[in-house]
Structures are given as structure tokens and as C-alpha cells.
Chains A and B, each alone.
Chain A
Amino acid sequence: MPFMQSFNRRQFLQMAGLSSTLLLSGCGSDLFAGVVGQVTEPLNQRLDELLLNPQKPVPEMPISSIEPDKLIVNTFDFTPVIDPKLYRLTIDGEVNNPMQLGVKELYKLPLTSVVMRHVCVEGWAAIVQWGGVRLRDLIQLAQPKETVRYVYFQSADGYYESWDLRSCLHPQTLMAYQKNGEPLPIENGAPLRLAAPIKLGYKHSKWVTRIMLTSNLLPQRGYWEDRGYEWFAGL
């Protein structure tokens, strides 16, 4: 049947997604929000990608401008307490050199400090100092294959995120273990969390246990993204 031929699997899934959005949403404007997002978000994401120069650092702020009280702790579920001695960061996926790193090995890598504005999707912002390992150094160690375009982050609390590779290679994208000059507090993601001035706060996974490099985006793109938030979320 010509209808079935022209109607491929992807279109079917899109339709299914669309209709489930329509069915699940209660009120009128909510009903259209998913559709509006599906129409405009690809355009806005292209703008995000155009604006991002992965080589260009965002101007840093003076240490004196740090706002320790303004950083609100947001967690989607619970706060995992991790024994630093037992902690291992796994880096795997499409890499030539998959690895596991302990806290001591991470501390031996070059330390980078960034004083930046942490911007939450809710509208508040706080100037924070984060110190840690550049994500691009870790990615280099793992030797990604040519085809890698995306990076997944898995957290001890079940939170998951995915980033575009270009944003991960930005010089201020850190796997941080320091906050405002002190060891990273547990509620802020100890022993290791993502931190970067170029993306919204919900992209910054805390308690990261696994970094997985992939060529393609998987059906699951991130905890909040799968619930309707923007995936690129560039600042």
C-alpha cells in the first residue's frame, strides 16, 4: 500500500509521541506547548550551536564577585553519599582506551579553576568558583573514535544527561571537585560533578560515575530533556 510505504518507522514514532503528548496534557496551552517546542526548538538549537565557539572561553569573573548564598541545591530525587576511597569514574563507550579513574588519579590531572555564572532554568543565577579537571583532558585520555559526537553522563542518583561533544571540549567545561575554593560538598555533587558556564544548570550532572562517548543520541537524552526541557540548553 502506498500509504504504508510513505509512512516510515520514524514518522510513526513521531506521531505516537505527538499523540501521547496530546493525550497526557490536561489543559489547553499545555497541549500545544509540546507542539510549539517541536516546531521552534530545532531552530533555537541551531542558534545555540552557531553561538557556541568551543575554543572561546567565557570572560571570567573576579573571586570577590562569588555569591555563596545564591547557589540553590536542586536535586531530582535523593542525595547519594559516596565513599571517595571506593569511588571510580568510568569512561567508556566508543573509545580506544576505556578507563576507570579513582579520586587520587583525578587529583593528579591538571587542575583548572573557573569563576562563572551558574544559571538555572528557573531563572535564578549565582556566581560560583568551580575547580577540577577539564573534561576535554579526560576525553583525550580515553581516545574517542572519529565518529563520536555525543557524551552521556550517568550519576549515582540515577540522573542522566547527554551533551554535544563540542560543548564538552570547551576549555571551561570541568569535572569539578572544588566549589568556592573548598572541597566539593556532597549536596553539590561530591566527589565529581559537571560544571560549565556555557549551559543551563540542569545539564550539570552531580555525582557523575560514568562518562560514555557515543556517535548518536539515544532515545533517552536526559532526565529533564525527556520531560520536555531543551536538550542543547546553551547559554
Chain B
Amino acid sequence: MTTDSPRFKPVLFPKQALLAKSFHWVNVVSLFIMLGSGLQIYNANPVFGGRQGIHLPPIFIGGWLAGGRDWHFGSMWIFSLNLLWYGVYILASRRWKHRFVGQPDLKALQVGKNPKRKAYSWHRIVYTAIVPVLLLAILSGIGMYKPAQFYWIVDLFGDWQALRIVHFMTVPIVVGFTIVHSLLALKVGGSRLLESMFW
């Protein structure tokens, strides 16, 4: 039996702020609904090729176009307001100063020798980079939702098709991010880091 070994080492468990954890949870769930209902809407008229284009298997949220729209335009409030308050939170708590990618991370990647520190830099680069992607999804989404009121958003992206492509491309980017972000988090902090973000 080794459990009552006298040479017990205290283990430091990573801890996350409750507000950071709640943001993460709401973000994961609302983003999942946005993606699922968004792909339901996509299937009504695929972005690439229109009606003759490639349809996705009908496994998405909402059941049909109107249902998908209900879910999409319902969860958009939760998703975007959650992101908004997170923005306020990282500004007010000054988390933005030390929780996102910065000069030290780039330096560690360029001249550093510590592979663990390098992985940590990549981790910070990846989760920092998803923030503008999420904001882009909201901006392009507003442009498609209210193109007459926010005509300047459509103009900003060039034309309607460009706007649709940008909005759609945030889906594979978010899916790819989820995989890379999870793997990097595992590499950096193991399952303890992962669990600390959720529970």
C-alpha cells in the first residue's frame, strides 16, 4: 500500500475565477447552439453553390429553417451579451494585462529554450486569437440579420456573398479552435487545468 506513504508531496491545483468559469460555460453552450442552428439555416441555401450546393446531413438544431432561426436569434443574445460582459470583466479586473498573449510569449517562442514555456505561449496565442473571430462572427451576423439598417456592414465586407462566406467560415474556425485549444490546454496543464476551467 502506497497511499499512506510519508513522503507525500502537496500538489498545487490550478484554480480559475468563478466569473471566468461562468463565462466559459455560457460561451461553450451558447456557441454550440449558435453553430447547430446556424448550420440548420445554412442548409436552406448552402453558402457555396446555393440550392445545388453541398447540403449537410440534417442533424442540426431547430428541425427546419424557421426553427433554426428561432434558436439562432434566441441564443445570439446569450452568446453576445456573455461576450460583452466578459469584455467589461477583463477590462475592469485588468485581466487583459496578463491573461492574453503579449511580448513575453513571443519572446519565449523566438529565443526561449523551454518547451513547456513555448507550449504555454502557443496556448495563449490561440485563445487570444479566437476573440476577434467571435467578434467577427457577431459583426457579420448583424450585417446579415439587418442588412438594410446596417448596410455599412455589408459594404464593409464587399458584397452579400463575401459576408455570408465570412460568417460561415467562423464555424470551421471555431470547431478547429475547440480541438486545438483543448489539446494545448491538456499539454500545458494536463487534465487538472481542463477540469479547473469547468468545475
The chain A residues found within 8 Å of chain B, CB to CB, are: 25-27, 29-30, 33-34, 36-37, 39-41, 43-44, 51-52, 58-59, 72, 117, 119-125, 197-198, 224, 227-230, 234-235
Are the CB atoms of B50 and A124 closer together than 8 Å?
yes
Query: With A120-B45, A121-B69, A230-B69 in contact, do A33 and B63 touch (Cβ < 8 Å)?
Result: yes
Residues on the B chain within 8 Å of A197, using CB: 148
19 A-B pairs in the complex with CB atoms less than 8 angstroms apart:
A27-B63, A29-B60, A29-B62, A33-B61, A33-B64, A36-B70, A58-B151, A121-B65, A121-B69, A123-B42, A123-B47, A125-B147, A198-B148, A228-B70, A229-B66, A229-B69, A230-B69, A234-B146, A234-B148
Are the CB atoms of B77 and A33 closer together than 8 Å?
no
Which residues from 45 to 75 on chain B have a C-beta closer than 8 Å to any C-beta of chain A? 45, 47, 50-51, 60-71, 73-74
Are the CB atoms of A117 and B160 closer together than 8 Å?
yes
Contacts A29-B60, A36-B70, A121-B44 aside, 10 further interface pairs with beta carbons under 8 A come to: A26-B63, A27-B63, A29-B62, A30-B62, A72-B50, A122-B45, A123-B144, A123-B164, A228-B70, A229-B69
A37 CB, min distance to chain B CBs, angstroms: 4
Residues on the B chain within 8 Å of A59, using CB: 151
Q: How far apart are the CA atoms of A34 and B68 in the complex, in Å?
A: 10
B46 CB, min distance to chain A CBs, angstroms: 8
Are the CB atoms of B47 and A36 closer together than 8 Å?
no
A126 CB, min distance to chain B CBs, angstroms: 8
Answer yes or no: B184 CB below 8 A from chain A CBs: no
Q: How far apart are the CA atoms of A216 and B62 in the complex, in Å?
A: 30
Residues on the B chain within 8 Å of A51, using CB: 146, 149
A194 CB, min distance to chain B CBs, angstroms: 15
User: Per-position contact with A for B62-94: 1 when CB-CB < 8 Å, else 0?
Assistant: 111111111101100100000000000000000
